[in-house]
Amino acid sequence: MIYLDNSATSKYKPKKTIKALKNTITKLSTNPGRGSHKLSIKASLKILETRESISEFFNLGKPNNVIFTSGCTESLNMAILGTAKSNGHIIVSTFEHNSVLRVLNHLKQRKNITYTIIKPKNEKINISEIQGSIKTNTYLVIINHISNVTGSEQDINKIGAFCKVNKLLFMVDAAQSAGHVKIDMQKNKINLLCAACHKGLLGPQGLGLLLINDCDVKPTKFGGTGINSESLEMPNEYPEKLECGTLPVELILSTFESIKFLNKNFDKVNNKIKKLSLILYNHLKNNNKVILYTTNFESGVFAFNLKHTPPNIFANYLNKHDICIRAGLHCAPYAHKYINTFPDGCIRASIGYNNSKRDIKKFIKVLNSFNE
Lowest mean pLDDT among 16-30, 32-46, 166-180, 201-215: 32-46
- Taking residues 247-266, report their average pLDDT: 97
* pLDDT, position 294: 96
Q: Is the pLDDT of residue 63 over 90?
A: yes
Q: Is the pLDDT of residue 53 over 70?
A: yes
Beta-bridged to residue 350, according to DSSP, are 5, 301
User: What pTM did the predictor assign?
Assistant: 0.96
CB atoms within 10 A of CB 126: 15
Contact 6, 351 (CB under 8 A): yes
CA pair distance 348, 302, nearest whole angstrom: 5
Burial environment of residue 93 by CB neighbours within 10 A (0 to 12, 13 to 18, 19 or more): buried
pLDDT per position as a tens digit, 257-294? 999 999 999 999 999 999 999 999 999 999 999 999 99
Domain 2-9+266-369 has CATH 3.90.1150.10: yes
**What is the CATH code for 15-261?**
3.40.640.10
Contact 89, 139 (CB under 8 A): yes
* pLDDT, position 99: 97
pLDDT per position as a tens digit, 185-244? 999 999 999 999 999 999 999 999 999 999 999 999 998 777 777 888 888 999 999 999
* pLDDT, position 372: 63
Indicate the domain borders of the chain: 2-9+266-369, 15-261
162 three-state secondary structure: helix
Encode burial over 46-68: b for 16+ CB neighbours within 10 A, e otherwise: bbbebbebbbebbbbeebbbbbb
Q: How confident is the model at residue 111 (pLDDT cuts 50, 70, 90)?
A: confident
Which of 313, 288, 299, 323 is CA-nearest to residue 149? 299
CA pair distance 220, 48, nearest whole angstrom: 23
Tell me the C-alpha to C-alpha distance, in Å, between residue 211 and each of 1, 54, 64, 66, 187: 36, 9, 9, 5, 14
Q: Which secondary structure element, helix H or strand E, spans residue 3, and what is its range?
A: strand 2-3
CA pair distance 141, 364, nearest whole angstrom: 39
* pLDDT, position 235: 82
Read off the DSSP letter of residue 239. Answer: T
Rounded to the nearest integer, the mean pLDDT of the chain is 95
* pLDDT, position 202: 98
pLDDT per position as a tens digit, 133-191? 999 999 999 999 999 999 999 999 999 999 999 999 999 999 999 999 999 999 999 99
* pLDDT, position 124: 93
Q: Is the pLDDT of residue 35 over 80?
A: no
Which DSSP string do the residues of 72-85 spell out, in sequence order?
A: HHHHHHHHHHHT--
Q: Report residue 136: phi and psi, to 5°.
A: -65, -25
Lowest mean pLDDT among 7-16, 78-87, 94-103, 232-241: 232-241
- Taking residues 82-88, report their average pLDDT: 96
